[in-house]
Chains A and B, each alone.
Chain A
Amino acid sequence: SQKIEQNSEALNIQEGKTATLTCNYTNYSPAYLQWYRQDPGRGPVFLLLIRENEKEKRKERLKVTFDTTLKQSLFHITASQPADSATYLCALGRTGANNLFFGTGTRLTVIP
């Protein structure tokens, strides 16, 4: 069965630094990958989508890479701020299937 792992359960970084979160998957060939932000007690909020034929996507301070050979996506937040503190989820979608498979998330804390 498919397995999606996000590098660590929790990540603490200093304000202003770049946060890098990892999403690895096995037994899966995603057509696209999405990253979501989730605050406690709230639903996930969509951040970025990257398709299998794309290597990199950017949006403001966010950057996502997608390496289908390594079966890995990296999510970067540059110039991190305390307001970026949240849980970040990666989700994979497959051709012919409409659902998203989510990882367990990484809880990011940006320390002032």
Chain B
Amino acid sequence: DAGVTQSPTHLIKTRGQQVTLRCSPKSGHDTVSWYQQALGQGPQFIFQYYEEEERQRGNFPDRFSGHQFPNYSSELNVNALLLGDSALYLCASSLGQGRTEAFFGQGTRLTVV
């Protein structure tokens, strides 16, 4: 049983560019959440998708957007990249909307230069 898989594992982008990160949830899970983790900090919630809709959003600008597909996989898009967007981006899947443990992927390390 595959856990949560994210791609790519590492990415280098130039300031101003756009990036798309991908996530496949754990088998049987229908909810995907995205987090941003800066170096030395805890993960910060970006948004959560359930039934192909964004259900909740953290304190992130509209440059951050996402999508969930019918097979529950998800994408995170970031437009107009800033140097401060450099971080580890984590995808977490769960069954239902909260109150259960989240299973995290290994993350995508994004570096903006």
Contact = CB atoms under 8 A, between A and B. Distances in A.
Interface string B69-109: 00000000000000000001010100001111111111101
Contacts of A28: none
Interface string A1-43: 0001000000000000000000000000001101010000111
A49 B4 contact: no
Contacts of A36: 104
A45 B107 CA distance: 12
Contacts, number: 65
B98 A97 contact: yes
A68 interface: no
B61 interface: no
A93 B102 CA distance: 11
A45 B102 CA distance: 8
A103 B43 CA distance: 8
A100 B102 contact: yes
B101 A99 contact: no
B48 interface: yes
B101 A98 contact: no
22 contacts: A4-B42, A34-B102, A41-B106, A41-B109, A43-B90, A43-B104, A44-B90, A44-B102, A49-B100, A89-B42, A93-B98, A97-B56, A97-B98, A98-B50, A98-B56, A98-B98, A99-B58, A99-B98, A100-B33, A100-B43, A100-B102, A101-B45
Interface of B: 4, 31, 33, 35, 40-45, 48, 50, 55-56, 58, 88, 90, 92, 97-107, 109
Across chains A and B, which 9 residue pairs bring their CB atoms closest together, nearest first?
Answer: A102-B42, A43-B104, A99-B45, A98-B98, A46-B101, A98-B97, A104-B42, A102-B43, A44-B104
